[in-house]
Amino acid sequence: MMNRMTLSAIAAILAAALAAEPVAAQTAPTGDRVDAAKKACKGDYQRLCSGVMPGGGRVLACLQKHSSELGPECAKALGK
């Protein structure tokens, strides 16, 4: 089970990644998009990147490094 600090760090990283999408693609409020991405990627984070210290974009970089291994929901949430 991930602690609050880890989840907060993932949310911040995912928010930065999602904010890079074109404005037209942002149909839902940012908070909802972050929550959806956090939920969609939780299992992939635990499976692929649980040893990565959050902060500085490291979790997002790890998920991107493993993009071919991401589940469809996480890949979609990250815009892959």
Interatomic CA distance for residues 7 and 21, integer angstroms: 22
| Structure-model confidence comparison of residues 5 and 36, the more confident one | 36
This prediction's pTM: 0.58
Which of 16, 65, 26, 21 shows the shortest CA–CA distance to 45? 65
What is the per-residue pLDDT across 19-63, written as a single tens digit (0 to 9) for each? 554 544 444 335 677 777 788 999 999 999 999 988 888 888 898
Q: Where are the domains of the chain?
A: 4-77
For residue 40 the two structure tokens come to 């969609």
